[in-house]
Amino acid sequence: MADPNFHDVMGFNPATAGEVIYEDDAGDTTIPDIQKITKRNNTLPIHGSHVTMNLNPLVLENIVSSTYYKNFLCEVTTFQQVVDEVYYNVKHLEPWERGTRKSQGMSGFFQVRGVGAGGIISSAFCLLYKLFTLKVTRKQLVSMINSTQSVYLRGIGFMFIRYTQPPADLWAWYAPYLDDDEEVDPRSGGGEKMEVGQMIRTLLTKLDWYGTLFPRIPIPIQKDIDNRLREHGRAYHGNYDNNWDRNAGNGRGPREDEPSTSTSHHHHRHRDEPRRPKRCHHHQKHYHCRKHRKKCPSKAKKARAEETKATGDTHNKSNSTEAV
């Protein structure tokens, strides 16, 4: 016989043949406010485009033209069918299947990040967009991100939030999962395992996701998120960083509070003395450019000017000698 609390946990009332029970207790602190279900908030708000889901145009074009989406997902009409597809077919969370992105040999416009010749779109992104077309409810989204059956179902739920929910609500959605230690490997082909909490931090702080882009978060909201992340890190880790700094010197050379026998300039420099830059200001701007690292244009310009001046002086001196 089923547990008498089973129907309550799953959100159904056995006396009403499956009618949804809505969570409307404002004083319940065990459930995040944004995950509380009421009759008025079960329909999710959509931030941005109500057609494209804010997806990159190339990604969206490949989704709707893919065989998987046209021949199979178009016939899928229920949320549970999508959940089953995620459970059996999703093995990563990248937009493209491994080795299919045809970006080599392109030039000009096609080298812009997120724009290119495309490739084979992943099942994850096809199902992500299918959920959008089915108009997922708050209750369904909450069941996804709290799933115990598939970490990829959780990942798709978190990405759905990032693409569709108002930026002001992102922290409320993600904050309860910052310390979630369940492992997920979002990379196609594997090899990049991370905790769900780390994935959440990436969604909150980065725009790029394996070659495609998330919607931009307004600067004031992004600053607030960054501050909250720092506060959360300090509260969670406590004095870990300080303890690590104190012990970092063990076995790696002399500690700062011990006398050093080194005669190098580094150990004798006064700590308040500013460190001289190893590169000029121009190199600091273009540190990624090999050409600029080898030869600074400003120095080269100065050298050419001095060479021209020296050549001019020699030429004038020669003319003066001939005149005499």
Alpha-carbon distance of 263 to 310, in angstroms, equals 41
Give the tens place of pLDDT for each residue, 249-273. Answer: 444 444 444 444 444 444 444 545 5
Give the tens place of pLDDT for each residue, 68-117. Answer: 999 999 999 999 999 999 999 999 999 999 887 754 444 444 444 444 45
Q: What's the pLDDT at 1?
A: 42
At residue 253, φ and ψ (nearest 5 deg) are 120, 180
- Burial of 7 from C-beta contacts in 10 A (0-12 / 13-18 / 19+): middle
- For residues 42 and 19, the answer to whether their CB atoms sit within 8 Å is no
- For residues 105 and 117, the answer to whether their CB atoms sit within 8 Å is no
| 144: three-class secondary structure by DSSP | helix
Other CB atoms closer than 10 Å to residue 50's CB: what's the count? Answer: 11
Listed by start position, the domains of the chain span 41-102+113-223
Rg of the chain on CA atoms, in Å: 29
Q: What's the pLDDT at 240?
A: 46
Name 254's bridge partners: none
Residue 33 pLDDT > 60: yes
Residue 151 pLDDT > 90: yes
Alpha-carbon distance of 197 to 180, in angstroms, equals 5
Residue 2 pLDDT > 80: no
- For residues 122 and 167, the answer to whether their CB atoms sit within 8 Å is no
Q: What's the pLDDT at 257?
A: 44
Mention every residue, 6+ apart, whose C-beta is less than 8 A from residue 318.
none
Give the tens place of pLDDT for each residue, 183-215. Answer: 999 998 888 899 999 999 999 999 999 989 999
Kindly state the tokens that stand for 124. Answer: 């994850």
Question: Confidence band (pLDDT; 50, 70, 90) for 20?
Answer: low
Whole-model pTM over 0.75: no
CA distances in angstroms from 6 to 12, 14, 22, 30, listed in the order given: 9, 10, 16, 18
